Amino acid sequence: MRKSLYPRLAAQSIRNNRRFFVPYILSLMGNVAAFYIMSALVSDPGVQDMTPGHSNGYYYVQMMMSMGMFIAFAFSIIFVFYINGFLMKQRKRELGLYNILGMGKNHIAALMLLEGLYVGVIGIVGGLAVGMLLHKLVTLLLYRALDFAVPLGFYISWSGLAETAILFAGLIAATVLVNLVKVQVSRPIELLRGGSVGEREPKTRWLLTLLGIVTLGGGYYIAVRTSSGVEAIALYFVAVFLVIIGTYCLFTAVSVFILKALRRNKKFYYRTGPFISVSGMLYRMKQNAVGLANICILCTMVMVMISGTLSLWLGTEDISQRLYPSDLQIRVRYFLDEEDPFNASVMLADAESYINSEGVAITGERTMTTIKFGVGLDDAGVFHTNTRAEGIVSSYSLDVLTAAVYTDLTGETVSLQPDEVMVYGTDLTTLEFRWDDRDTGEENYPATTFQVVGHLQESPWFSPQISNQLCLVVADESVLTELYQAQLAAYGEKNASFLEWYAYLDLDCSDEECQRLTEDYWEGDKTDYGAGRWEYMSWNSSGQGRSELYGLAGGFLFLGLFLGFIFLMATVLIIYYKQISEGYEDKRRFEIMQKVGLSREEVRTAIRSQVLMVFFLPIVVAAIHIAFDFNMVEKLLTLFYLHDTTLTALCTLGTLLVFFLVYGVVYLLTARTYYKIVER
């Protein structure tokens, strides 16, 4: 054969199979573009320059983009292999025909090599081009999300281009290699028949059905029962893992089980609609179950990512206001030291004089002392410092405020006796604390009991939480000190919590000025000016804190949207290929049925109901997953200080709604292709 034949044959073959190749190449381009953009963002010097005050925001973004690159590429591997496998299955017949018409296996190999080369070159070069163009747009969006100033200019990351090209070229080469091996070991007659191997009806698989019910139920149970952020992060991947397994079982085995039960109901089954759709679904489940489960899991991931990151980002303003209620926060941790006690007023005076000496006026000032330590609640309603004691059902982090601070924070005056408290986070009317040792279990300090005189609906004091917050408002500092001593005895010197002193200062200056103040403060010697002994001190400007928060939340949102987009693209493509392959299979079925007396109208109805079912089953299941997952996501978000259930719920609903719409549009578009194939 002439040498120039192969390039032409390969191009011809791609053109003839454009129905399969075009979406494949387009999605490859999408993956390449997305990967390049993330890689370019990691190295873009503009991101660093634009970060206000050179805070950590930039590093968060970089870190997250690196993580995103990893996920995106791992996903690309799965995705490209899936599509390639599908393509090969559809094309077996064509390749078998070439083989029988006298093309040797080496010739076919050459053909496939060239095809791979074409696909790879178009996909990668095109993807990089798209990536370079979109990079600027994406940067603008990212900066908007991060609340950064937008840089000018057009940046091309050469290292990003090289990295992307090499990785994806390797990926395409791997698929070509797999195809070559497949062709090499196959026999022509198998290739020729490849497309139409009769699928048998799937058997009911009891074990898988049972496993599906158990894993799904287990995953849901964990998700619903999770009561704190720490628990959520510890169990999240367990729950996700269980639900993924459950989803696969659900689609592969439970579906068959249900369909067979439907078929046994003769009165229901022997009617036109159910007769066609139940038998069709049953027959179809074997090869489609995994595809549907994939779609379902992808949809779930997209929705969880987007709704979670979106609510985090939307909540950032609120979080930053609560975390940084004033322009400047000074925080000091200290032990009660008999010889050289910490003196808050000296420290505050020092800070004030420093700020005034810099020429900045202080417009507002508030201070408070608090303590925070962990306790466990047992099944008898008693709190223990030994959270490993028998019978502990949940753990809390306890914040203690004085009545005076409570008045400061809320504006409400209260008067409490030393044994009376107001409490947030529990319904108990009597609070008993046992100060038991975490190692020996012995009580190191006499138990303390408080009468609850008021249950607070909202936490008066916002503090970073990793478990359920229990907030006590006690009579005065002496009760606070008493509790400090008790937990000191229980936890021991090494593990006990510090007392914490906060000063919130409002300053008459810009964010940048304020930031500079906090940085310059550390230039002098801060150990010996008569404020006594303390262990730790920090100065935080709200501008810096806010920018870090936005760096984190904006980075997450960006990543969520970005990966969400990639996953959505994959979902769309899988659906598209599914429609095509099913269209070809259903064509014959519907032809036969028309011959034995199914009208065109009935054919259309049957097709519609079947396509709708196959199409919307995954997303309905995904929506159920989301519903169960909601509690867990909400708890996870508390790790990022977000405690706004309404916001999270709205974001989840909004995401669900938008996703359903997008999905519906995809459905309409791909269903057309399907109808065209079936009805022709």
Partner 1 sequence: MPILQVNDLKKTYTTRFGGQQVHALTKVNFSVEAGEYVAIMGESGSGKTTLLNILAALDKPTSGKVLLDGKDIVTIRERDIAAFRRDHLGFVFQDFNLLDTFSVKDNILLPLVLAGRTYPEMERRLKPLAAHLGIEELLGKYPYEISGGQQQRVAVARALITEPRIVLADEPTGALDSKATDSLLRLFSQLNAEGQTILMVTHSTKAASHAGRVLFIRDGEVFHQIYRGMSTPEEMYQKISDTLTLLASGGEGRA
Cβ closer to partner 1: 136 or 604? 604
Say whether 474 sits in a helix, a strand or coil: strand
Residue 54 or residue 600: which is nearer to partner 1 going by CB? Answer: 600
The residue whose two tokens read 């080369």 is: 117
Compute the distance between CA of residue 392 and CA of residue 375 in angstroms, rounded to an integer.
10
Cβ-based nearer residue to partner 1, 346 or 592: 592
C-beta of 212 vs 291, nearer to partner 1: 291
- Smallest gap, in angstroms, from Cβ of residue 593 to partner 1? 7
> CB of 7: closest distance to partner 1 in angstroms?
29
What's the min distance (Å) between Cβ of 667 and partner 1? 23
Min separation Cβ 16 and partner 1, Å? 19
Q: Which residues pair with 506 in a beta bridge?
A: 364
The residue (of 263 and 516) whose beta carbon lies closer to partner 1 is 263
Return d(Cα 60, Cα 145) in angstroms, integer: 13
Chain centre distance of CA 375: 30
Query: Radius of gyration over alpha carbons of the chain, in Å?
Result: 32
Q: How far is the CB of 85 from partner 1 (least distance, A)?
A: 23
Distance of closest approach, residue 590 Cβ to partner 1, in angstroms: 10
Least distance (Å) between residue 599 CB and partner 1: 3
Check if the beta carbon of residue 135 is closer than 8 Å to that of residue 40: yes
Supply the minimum distance, in Å, between the C-beta of residue 271 and partner 1. Answer: 7
Answer for the pair 42, 139: CB distance below 8 angstroms, yes or no.
Answer: no
CB burial class (10 A; 0-12, 13-18, 19+) of residue 443? middle
Smaller CB distance to partner 1: residue 331 or 587? Answer: 587
What is the enclosing helix (H) or strand (E) of 620? Answer: helix 600-638
Nearer to partner 1, 93 or 589 (CB): 589
By beta-carbon proximity to partner 1, the closer residue of 365 and 602 is 602
Q: Which parts of this chain interact with partner 1 (CB under 8 A)?
A: 198-201, 266-267, 270-272, 275, 279-280, 282-283, 589, 592-602
What is the smallest separation between the CB atom of 183 and partner 1, expressed in angstroms? 27
Nearest to 328 by CA among 490, 575, 512, 503: 503
Burial of 428 (C-beta count, 10 Å sphere; 0-12/13-18/19+) = middle
The answer to whether 233 and 629 have CB atoms below 8 angstroms apart is no
> Which residue type is seen at 100?
I
CB of 270 to partner 1, least distance (A): 5
**In this complex, which beta carbon is closest to partner 1, that of residue 337 or of residue 591?**
591
Nearest to 425 by CA among 390, 376, 471, 465: 471
185 or 596, CB closer to partner 1?
596
CA 466 remoteness from chain centre: 18
Q: Cβ of residue 199: shortest distance to partner 1, in angstroms?
A: 7
Residues 6+ apart with CB under 8 A from 349: none
Tokens 């005056």 sit at which residue?
413
* Rounded CA separation 198/525 (Å): 83
For partner 1, the closer of residues 252 and 277 by Cβ is: 277
3-state secondary structure of 114: helix
In whole angstroms, what is the distance from residue 457 CA to residue 412 CA? 14
Residue (of 426, 430, 428, 368) closest to 398 by Cα position? 426
CA distance 31 to 35: 6
